[in-house]
Structure 1
Amino acid sequence: MTLQLLRQCHLLRRGVVLQRRELLRRDDCGDERKGLSERRHNSKLPSPCSFSSATQCKNSLLCNEEFFHRRDLGVFVRTQLEALYPCNRLEFVALSPIVGVVEADLKGPDGPAGYHCVPAETVTDEDFKYSFNGKPGIQVPNNAVLFPASVMEAPMFNGMGISAGRVLLRRGGSLPVHSHGASEILYVTQGAMNVTILATRRAYVNYLKEGEFMIIPKCRLHFLDNVGRGEAIGFAAYSSANPRFHFQHLEMYASNVPSPTLSRVTFLDVDQIRRNKARFNGTG
């Protein structure tokens, strides 16, 4: 179904170009409507919408010349797709954020476009709000605690391509080397921390204090280290509704790869690898 939507989006984009040419040459909505129909018939393009009267055609986006002069074709395609595929029938929101209620139905499957949406009439005021207060958080080695706010915790993030999180580093604590499939903005709300992005031949090191933030590109290995005298707290915003963390120490030491093999490919001592495997419940 997602492939069908992508094809529909591609065809609509092709149709927009033809439609815009017709708009520039015709002032009368009836003539324009006829011209578009002929174009679609000849090129076998799908009709993005239909009109039952000249009034509906006159008020439509297809006849809004000012709209097309802005060349905001992405918005046009999104609008037409929304009309063709309402959210409660099919979720295509990963293609482009839509205006409306798209709260996730977590009881259903999670696909590339996100979860199916709950009925709009069941959404409440509180569904638009989320609080980290009172949440237990996820304990991470080296005295760090993660408080995720992804679509799993805040279903209203469904299809929006964004999510949030909070990280607490206790005194002397750090968040180990990791990456995630989303870009991140990390804003320090308390204390000070060293945020380092790892790269070949060098590292990008920044010391952030309260009120400062940093951009971390997706899939880049990085770590956080508390360099203050007390706790350090950061607020994170992600470019994904459900960013998945990939901690390097878990992928290496919680695996079943034999220790001698890991030693050869990581240049680490076998005994150290075995100690780490024992700590993180790995085998081999």
Structure 2
Amino acid sequence: MSPKLTVLLVIFSLLSHTTFESDPDPVQDFCIPNTKFNTIRTTRYDNLPCKNSTEVSPDDFIFSGIKSPGNFSDTGLSTIPVNPTNLPGLNTLGMSFVRADLKVGWFNAPHFHPRATEIVYVVQGRVYSGFVDSTNRVFAKVTEQGEVMVFPRGLVHFQMNVGKSTATIFGSFNSQNPGMQKIPSVIFGSGINDELLEKAFGLSPKQIGMMRRRFIPKRVRS
């Protein structure tokens, strides 16, 4: 095989791995994380040793916590994530799940998942759902009970309840740790320099201050 062909094959292999895989492929049937070794309380359960299979039970593969909505935020949104933290059987399988409920007229702010594509199923209600591609084109539509929509990995997407009752959505990710960055919080709650924000958005210092007070996480407020 010529050196050039070898290099091309290596590059193609690397690009294929990067493009089509979110999490590494599992190398065994399952890996229930042994949390007694989680001394620094990391959320990276895939880094923990696996339990001995004799210590694993059916309960490790079942989670019952999404039968009803969780607590609602001040944006009328309730989310219950399902990941190795509460469903150990998901560890190393390259997927996770979420139940989301939206009160009438309320929304899930524009956000994105840097490590996963998301597919959502509308369990009940009518939800204006969509995403924005890298050319700033919006793909959005009102989705109804029984319909499914996909949000490509890394693209900003959003949802708003436009029905007459609480909407329920189930979402699935092709990563056990998809990550999430909400655009308003990233812009105004992360500590980006005020002058830069003023120039970027044409806002006054007073307006920047108002936005910061709204979006800075409560846990870091003085």
TM-score w.r.t. length of structure 1:
0.61
| CA drift at 1:267 | 3.8
**Structure 2 residue aligned with 1:71:** none
Structure 2: 5+ residue runs without aligned partners?
Answer: 1-22
Contact 2:69 2:101 in 1 (8 A): no
Q: Of the two structures, which has the highest relative contact order with CA contacts closer than 8 Å and spacing of 6 or more?
A: 2
**Structure 2 residue aligned with 1:262:** 197
SS at match of 2:213: helix
Query: Is 1:104 the equivalent of 2:33?
Result: yes
Q: Work out the CA distance in 1 between the residues paired with 2:69 and 2:126.
A: 23
Which structure has the larger Rg over C-alpha atoms? 1
Q: Residue 116 and residue 135 in structure 1: after superposition, are their counterparts in 2 closer, same or farther (change >3 A)?
A: farther
**CA deviation profile, 1:201-259 (whole Å, cap 9, x unmatched):** 42001211000011111111011110101101100110001221111111122122232
**Structure 1 residue aligned with 2:17:** none
**What is the identity, as a one-letter code, of the residue corresponding to 1:242?**
N
Q: Spell out the pairing of 1:33-112 with structure 2 (5 A cutoff).
A: 94-106=23-35, 107-108=37-38
Match of 1:220 among 146, 149, 155: 155
Q: Residue 222 and residue 209 in structure 1: after superposition, are their counterparts in 2 closer, same or farther (change >3 A)?
A: same
Q: Residue 112 and residue 262 in structure 1: after superposition, are their counterparts in 2 closer, same or farther (change >3 A)?
A: farther
Contact 1:183 1:218 in 2 (8 A): yes
Q: Residue 178 and residue 243 in structure 1: after superposition, are their counterparts in 2 closer, same or farther (change >3 A)?
A: same
**Structure 1 residue aligned with 2:209:** 274
| CA drift at 1:118 | 1.6
Q: Work out the CA distance in 1 between the residues paired with 2:25 and 2:198.
A: 45
Query: Is 1:171 the equivalent of 2:100?
Result: no
Structure 1: 5+ residue runs without aligned partners?
Answer: 1-93
- After superposition, the CA RMSD in angstroms is 2.4
SS at match of 1:193: strand
Q: Work out the CA distance in 2 between the residues paired with 1:96 and 1:206.
A: 34
**What is the identity, as a one-letter code, of the residue corresponding to 1:146?**
T
Question: Larger helix proportion, structure 1 or 2?
Answer: 1
**CA deviation profile, 1:3-59 (whole Å, cap 9, x unmatched):** xxxxxxxxxxxxxxxxxxxxxxxxxxxxxxxxxxxxxxxxxxxxxxxxxxxxxxxxx
Structure 1 segments (4+ residues) deviating >6 Å: none
SS at match of 2:92: coil
Q: Residue 220 and residue 114 in structure 1: after superposition, are their counterparts in 2 closer, same or farther (change >3 A)?
A: farther
Q: Work out the CA distance in 2 between the residues paired with 1:159 and 1:95.
A: 8
| CA drift at 1:111 | 5.5
**Structure 1 residue aligned with 2:57:** 124
Aligned residues with identical type, % of pairs: 25
**Structure 2 residue aligned with 1:73:** none
Q: Work out the CA distance in 1 between the residues paired with 2:34 and 2:191.
A: 35
TM-score w.r.t. length of structure 2:
0.76
**CA deviation profile, 1:168-199 (whole Å, cap 9, x unmatched):** 10111100010012101100001010111023
